[in-house]
């Protein structure tokens, strides 16, 4: 029998040294931002019942979930999403808390991606949710926080794209077609597939909404997008969404974020999930979105507690790939007891140095020469030998 | 500024892709004299060209190491992925088809059909739509061999002229869909390098439109000549 005892499963890997450091730098930065705005951390289990995600099959296909059974034969999954367990929590244990709830989480989610195309199945996510408020105030709070998060990690090399799904919904509803065609149109807009989109829309000649939909994948950029969008279609629902988005955009401009913010009215992924503002963040040199979020006012009603909500999550490992790769820190001092009778003295000595902020490695070797050679190999600059007296050896001079 | 990197599919689409970029005024001499090099600069623009196998074009674009790619719709349908598909380039036209030995009725009898294909995902989703359970066998080379040797009842493959099928005693039973070369763009690149990429897309679109009109004209001339 082939034993898989020396490898990790497809889509997973061991994170070593600087990879761990970069991950904790990013989560540290994000947690500081979240905490400073009054968000509280929650930890939901890595194992959940399948039923928690059953209603979300449209964007969490069951074939991408890791499934297994508990002792009673009930179907379990490794948590594939950060937001849905929070919705479950908000609709149950947190139901009677003062609203709005401000929550954040920082943990792995699991989506099976055994496609050998460079995607991980184990994704570290750090995210926030603001539950119980559907106003422009909470939207602005969330988008500003997303921009601050991207800024803090990338030191400026980022873009934040925003959209309001209402514009697309107004267009597609006024087209008056069946659900399958709607989904097909949405899919082509998401993929910016101009050719196929044209083919589908040909069945609606001289239709203003169809014309606007045809142009939707190109409706991205700066402020000029609004003018184009108003000109293309301006029934009441469409105008309302555009007014709303423009208001937010102007607030972001006043916050000095204009150069980072892109409007993309063709951002229609997960249109049945999002109900208002949608946004995504990009870093220079990273080929996939590092942050994604939006307003999802219908999710909590799946759990029997209709509440508006908005949130976003950061793909921590993608985000941390822009941080400088630094070699792991080496110890400043190697401390060695000259003989066994000085072991305690050496421990006390080491603790003193640690208290002063130095990194101290305890030497497990017994020979002075071997210790010097070891320190030289590891790049530790000082060896302190603790005996009757303390001998400080400068390794560079010694070798 | 880092050059825009474009992945082109080697083989069937290569020559047409290069011709298109040349028609747009890009100097592709390095690409034509590539030798063993894999990354080739376009001298008169801030562009690099990479030649890769079809499925790899998608992988490179999806992961953002190439900003744009030219790849067949057949590969896109088979491999899937997350990227923008912004233009139908009009060349490399052929179709996906279900082909079987001449004179056989595919739907006769109740045994589970066996389908040989290089495009297993396309074949699977085609029969899923028909609510048919079929056995699908992946064949890497000449798929036409499988029904001749008796391994499969039919094949799903791309068909250009149908000559290979005819020569091996097969006929197209059903057309699944038309395919042609597509221009794909990485999602982040589209946002981060909007101006440059949009300019390129606009150029390519007008090229495609021109070609379309030229084709129409030729057909009209042919028709006129025939009359």
What CATH number does residue B219 fall under? 3.40.190.10
CB contact at 8 A, A393 and A372: yes
pLDDT digits (tens, 9 = 90+) for A120-144: 899 999 999 999 999 999 999 999 9
**Residue B32 domain boundaries:** 4-92+180-226
Do B126 and B166 sit in the same domain of this protein? Answer: yes
CB contact under 8 A, B63 and A196: no
The verdict on B81 touching A (C-beta cutoff 8 Å) is yes
Calculate how close chain A gets to B105, using CA atoms only, in Å: 31
CB contact at 8 A, B13 and B181: yes
Calculate how close chain B gets to A289, using CA atoms only, in Å: 7
CB contact under 8 A, A193 and B192: no
What pLDDT is recorded for position A116? Answer: 67
Does the pLDDT of residue A114 top 70, yes or no? no
Do B122 and B72 sit in the same domain of this protein? Answer: no
Do B63 and B101 sit in the same domain of this protein? Answer: no
Q: Residue A312 — pLDDT band, cuts 50, 70, 90?
A: very high
Do B26 and B9 sit in the same domain of this protein? Answer: yes
Q: For testing the chain A interface, which of B192, B195, B200, B201 should be mutated: the one with the most A CBs within 10 Å?
A: B192
What would the mean pLDDT of A109-121 be, rounded to a whole number? 81
Backbone torsion region of residue B181, taken as left when φ is above 0, otherwise alpha when ψ lies between -120 and 50, otherwise beta: beta
What would the mean pLDDT of B181-207 be, rounded to a whole number? 91
The verdict on B3 touching A (C-beta cutoff 8 Å) is no
ipTM of predicted assembly, 2 dp? 0.72
CB contact under 8 A, A195 and B187: no
What would the mean pLDDT of A255-266 be, rounded to a whole number? 93
- Residue, of B103 and A72, whose pLDDT is higher: A72
What pLDDT is recorded for position B54? Answer: 94
Q: Residue A10 — pLDDT band, cuts 50, 70, 90?
A: confident
Q: Residue A264 — pLDDT band, cuts 50, 70, 90?
A: very high
Write the residue in A159, A193, A288 that is nearest to B85 by C-beta. A193
Which of A191-195, A326-330, A363-367 is predicted with the least confidence, judged by mean pLDDT? A326-330
Do B23 and B80 sit in the same domain of this protein? Answer: yes
Do B87 and B98 sit in the same domain of this protein? Answer: no
Backbone torsion region of residue A37, taken as left when φ is above 0, otherwise alpha when ψ lies between -120 and 50, otherwise beta: alpha
Question: Residue A14 and residue B174: Cα distance in Å, rounded?
Answer: 49
Write the residue in B86, B87, B188 that is nearest to A287 by C-beta. B188
Provide, rounded to the nearest whole percent, the portion of chain A with pLDDT above 70. Answer: 99
pLDDT digits (tens, 9 = 90+) for B104-118: 888 888 888 999 999
> Considering chain A, what is the average pLDDT of its residues?
92
Calculate how close chain B gets to A104, using CA atoms only, in Å: 26
Question: Residue A78 and residue A71: Cα distance in Å, rounded?
Answer: 16
Q: Residue A3 — pLDDT band, cuts 50, 70, 90?
A: confident
What pLDDT is recorded for position B96? Answer: 95
Q: Domains (ranges, CATH) in chain A?
A: 18-320 (3.30.930.10), 333-398 (3.40.50.800)
Closest C-alpha among A43, A81, A84, A106 to residue A296 = A84
Question: Residue B180 and residue B16: Cα distance in Å, rounded?
Answer: 12
pLDDT digits (tens, 9 = 90+) for A140-197: 999 999 999 999 999 888 999 999 999 999 999 988 888 889 989 998 998 888 878 8
Do B207 and B187 sit in the same domain of this protein? Answer: yes
pTM of the model as a whole: 0.84
Write the residue in A159, A264, A286 that is nearest to B64 by C-beta. A286
The verdict on A113 touching B (C-beta cutoff 8 Å) is no
Q: How many helices (H) and strands (E) does chain B have?
A: 9, 11
CB atoms within 10 A of CB B146: 21
Closest C-alpha among A339, A59, A264, A281 to residue A150 = A281
What are the phi and psi torsion angles at A37 (to 5°)? -105, 15
Question: Residue A263 and residue A71: Cα distance in Å, rounded?
Answer: 50
Question: Residue A205 and residue A218: Cα distance in Å, rounded?
Answer: 20
What would the mean pLDDT of B61-75 be, rounded to a whole number? 94
- Residue, of A23 and A118, whose pLDDT is higher: A23
CB contact under 8 A, B84 and A192: yes
Does the pLDDT of residue A399 top 70, yes or no? no
| Number of domains comprising chain B | 2
Closest C-alpha among A260, A263, A266, A267 to residue A225 = A263
Q: Residue B36 — pLDDT band, cuts 50, 70, 90?
A: confident
> Burial of A296 by CB count in 10 Å (0-12 exposed, 13-18 middle, 19+ buried)?
buried
> Considering chain B, what is the average pLDDT of its residues?
91
Half-sphere exposure of B1 (CA within 13 A, CB side): 10
Write the residue in B59, B64, B84 that is nearest to A288 by C-beta. B64
CB contact under 8 A, A118 and B59: yes
Question: Residue A358 and residue A356: Cα distance in Å, rounded?
Answer: 6
CB contact at 8 A, B161 and B99: no
Token output for A27: 């989560």
Calculate how close chain B gets to A268, using CA atoms only, in Å: 13
């Amino acid at each position: 029998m082939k034993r898989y005892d020396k490898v990790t499963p497809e889509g997973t890997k061991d994170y070593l040294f600087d990879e761990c450091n970069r991950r904790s730098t990013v989560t540290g930065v994000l947690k500081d931002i979240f905490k400073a705005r009054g968000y509280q951390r929650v930890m939901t289990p890595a194992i959940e019942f399948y039923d928690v995600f059953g209603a979300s099959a449209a964007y969490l296909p069951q074939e991408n979930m890791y499934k297994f059974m508990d002792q009673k034969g009930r179907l379990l999954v490794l948590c594939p999403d950060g937001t849905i367990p929070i919705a479950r929590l908000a609709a149950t244990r947190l139901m009677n808390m003062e609203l709005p709830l401000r929550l954040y989480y920082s943990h792995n989610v699991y989506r099976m991606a055994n496609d050998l195309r460079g995607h991980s199945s184990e994704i570290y996510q750090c995210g926030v949710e603001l539950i119980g408020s559907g106003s422009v105030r909470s939207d602005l709070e969330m988008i500003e926080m997303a921009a601050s998060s991207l800024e803090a990690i990338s030191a400026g090399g980022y873009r934040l794209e925003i959209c309001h799904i209402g514009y697309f919904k107004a267009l597609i509803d006024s087209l008056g077609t069946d659900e399958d065609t709607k989904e097909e149109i949405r899919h082509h807009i998401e993929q910016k597939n101009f050719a196929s989109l044209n083919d589908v829309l040909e069945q609606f000649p001289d239709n203003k909404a169809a014309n606007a939909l045809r142009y939707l994948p190109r409706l991205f950029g700066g402020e000029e997008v609004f003018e184009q969008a108003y000109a293309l279609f301006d029934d009441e629902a469409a105008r309302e969404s555009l007014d709303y988005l423009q208001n937010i955009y102007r607030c972001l401009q006043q916050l000095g974020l204009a150069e980072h913010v892109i409007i993309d009215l063709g951002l229609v992924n997960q249109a049945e999930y999002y109900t208002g503002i949608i946004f995504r963040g990009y870093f220079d040199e990273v080929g996939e979105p590092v942050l994604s979020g939006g307003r999802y006012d219908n999710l909590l009603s799946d759990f029997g507690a209709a509440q508006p909500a908005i949130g976003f999550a950061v793909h921590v490992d993608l985000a941390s790939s822009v941080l400088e790769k630094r070699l792991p820190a080496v110890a400043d001092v190697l401390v060695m007891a000259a003989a066994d009778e000085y072991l305690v003295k050496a421990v006390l000595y080491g603790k003193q140095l640690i208290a002063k902020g130095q990194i101290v490695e305890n030497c497990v070797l017994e020979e002075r020469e071997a210790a010097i050679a070891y320190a030289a190999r590891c790049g530790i600059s000082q060896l302190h030998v603790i005996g009757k007296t303390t001998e400080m050896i400068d390794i560079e001079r010694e070798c | 500024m880092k050059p825009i990197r474009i992945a082109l599919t080697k083989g069937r689409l290569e020559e047409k892709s290069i011709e298109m970029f040349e028609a747009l005024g890009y100097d592709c001499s390095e690409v034509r004299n590539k030798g063993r090099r894999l990354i080739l600069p376009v001298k008169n623009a801030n562009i690099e060209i990479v030649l890769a196998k079809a499925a790899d074009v998608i992988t490179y674009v999806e992961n953002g190491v190439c900003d744009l790619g030219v790849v067949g719709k057949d590969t896109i349908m088979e491999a899937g992925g997350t990227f923008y598909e912004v233009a139908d380039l009009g060349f490399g036209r052929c179709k996906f088809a279900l082909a079987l030995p001449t004179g056989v009725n595919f739907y006769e009898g109740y045994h589970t059909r066996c389908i040989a294909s290089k495009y297993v995902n396309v074949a699977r989703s085609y029969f899923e739509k028909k609510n048919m359970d079929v056995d699908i066998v992946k064949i890497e080379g000449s798929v036409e061999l499988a029904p001749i040797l008796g391994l499969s009842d039919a094949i799903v493959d791309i068909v250009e002229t149908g000559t290979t099928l005819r020569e091996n005693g097969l006929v197209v039973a059903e057309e699944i869909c038309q395919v042609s070369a597509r221009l794909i763009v990485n999602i982040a690149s589209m946002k981060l390098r909007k101006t440059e990429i949009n300019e390129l897309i606009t150029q390519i679109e007008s090229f495609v439109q021109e070609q379309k009109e030229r084709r129409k004209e030729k057909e009209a001339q042919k028709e006129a000549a025939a009359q």
